[in-house]
Amino acid sequence: MAKYLDPKVDFLFKKIFGENKELLISFLNSFLPLADDREVVEIEYLSPEMVPATPLGKNSIVDVRCTDNHGRAFIVEMQSEWTNIFRKRLIVNGSKAIIRQMDKKLIKDEAKQFHNLQTVYVLAAVNSAFSEGKEWYHTLKIMNPKNHDVVLEGLEFILLELPKFTPETWSLAHKKLAILWLRFLKEIEGYHKDLPEEFTTNELIFSAIRKCEEAALSYEEREIYERSQEQVMWDRSIKGLEDAVVEKDKIIADRDQALADRDQALADNAKTIADQDRALADNAKTIADQAKKLAELQKALSNN
């Protein structure tokens, strides 16, 4: 009986999509917002020395350089938790992919360097929910939020919230294979036998499934897989720490706001009291002036 491991675990995800071009091409074309005549047709993986370093190492990223008829670049990532570190890393890695295109050894003309820059796509599947609402497929660009026609082309992010995905929520009907890829990521670990027919009849999906069989991994690979599982626990710990910090910051901010509101209320009360004291003083002066005039009038009457 075959036992299937979790393809969302970093090592296995990289083994499936980082070593099998036809699977990665299918995965990219399933989720990227590309027209049919602009889909990826060929890819070239980054050599190890070209992979950008990150503070926590390369434990949670498949970084590929893709070549197609438009010369675009692609980065694919699988992440267990939506953390602040991961969010910032998406921006850093996307930016580095743009910079890598400006190879001064090949192009000395700076104007030509910029002119030849192609769009970089960052595709990230995240095994946690990070936004409000039911939407799970997100396309992000650099644009004017008040006028979406004003866009800075060159860098796009496609983010998938796996926990929210259900087949009926997929709207791009012409990319039906995307549903199978998402089901593969979410479901395959739960099977031991009797795979769904739609899994076994699709050559690409079934090829990916075979690579998830526990028996398909060597002893060394299984150890790496288990360490990758530990990385998932580490990511969750980071997320927990970040959530705790956010909650603490919120408590402090709420307290500071309460103190500020209290100080403002005290200031307002002090101003009100000062205004009342001023009014009383004005009233007292008015009464004194009237008393003085009355006394003068009485004196005048007495003299008459």
Over range 96-109, report the average pLDDT: 70
- pTM for the full predicted model: 0.70
Over range 102-109, report the average pLDDT: 61
Listed residue (117, 98, 97) closest to 107, CA to CA: 117
**Residue 55 confidence (pLDDT):** 37
Residue numbers of the domain that contains 233: 218-304
Average pLDDT in the chain: 81
Q: Are residues 26 and 46 in the same domain?
A: yes
| Tally of domains within the chain | 2
Among the candidates 217, 239, 263, a domain finishes at 217
Over range 235-246, report the average pLDDT: 59
The string of pLDDT tens digits covering residues 28-85 is: 999 998 888 888 888 887 654 444 443 334 443 445 566 666 778 888 988 888 888 8
Among the candidates 185, 217, 249, a domain finishes at 217
Listed residue (199, 205, 131) closest to 164, CA to CA: 131
By CB atoms closer than 10 A (0-12, 13-18, 19+), residue 180 is buried
Range with the poorest average pLDDT among 122-131, 201-210, 279-288: 279-288
Asked whether residue 5 is assigned to any structural domain, the reply reads no
Among the candidates 169, 197, 217, a domain finishes at 217
Q: Are residues 132 and 245 in the same domain?
A: no
Q: Are residues 29 and 138 in the same domain?
A: yes
Q: Are residues 138 and 269 in the same domain?
A: no
Q: Are residues 210 and 90 in the same domain?
A: yes
Q: Which residue has the tokens 């079934």?
A: 206
- Please tell me the distance from the alpha carbon of residue 49 to that of residue 55, in angstroms, as a whole number: 16
Sign of CA dihedral 265, 270, 276, 278: negative
